């Protein structure tokens, strides 16, 4: 069965790049070799692979990639480090208007 990967690269400028591929070795080499001067990673080399998650379905991989790209840097780094407690805390809604903060006596 074919696997698909969501990968995160840490760039030389400390920014992160996230992508999806079915061949991580080939795709990482393409980034590292600078195939496309218009790509985000071209002027941010060298690169370091800091996270890799495999998926059986391409739609699951794409969905996770899109979700991850919306996260704060702190939340991204918690995932990269495998800090599940911090990730759980950072995922909690802290808006004052959240249903989690609703009080009947107001």
Token digits of residue 29 = 């080499």
Same domain for 7 and 53: yes
Same domain for 57 and 10: yes
Cα–Cα distances in Å, from 43 out to 22, 28, 40, 58, 63?
24, 15, 7, 29, 27
Tens of pLDDT, residue by residue over 9-30, are 999 999 999 999 999 999 999 9
Domain count, the chain: 2
Same domain for 17 and 54: yes
Q: What is the CATH number of the domain that holds 7?
A: 3.40.1440.10
Tens of pLDDT, residue by residue over 57-83, are 999 999 999 999 999 999 999 999 999
Look up the domain containing 23 and give its range.
1-70
Same domain for 93 and 51: no
The whole-number pLDDT of residue 98 equals: 61
């Amino acid at each position: 069965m074919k696997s698909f990967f969501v990968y995160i690269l840490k760039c030389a400028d400390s920014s992160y790049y996230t992508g999806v591929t079915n061949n991580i070795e080939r795709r990482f080499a393409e980034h590292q070799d600078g195939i496309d001067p218009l790509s985000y990673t071209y002027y941010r080399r060298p690169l370091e692979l800091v996270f890799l998650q495999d998926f059986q379905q391409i739609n699951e991989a794409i969905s996770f990639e899109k979700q991850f790209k919306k996260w704060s840097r702190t939340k991204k780094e918690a995932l990269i480090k495998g800090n599940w407690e911090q990730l759980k805390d950072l995922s909690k809604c802290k808006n004052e208007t959240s249903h989690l903060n609703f009080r009947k006596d107001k």
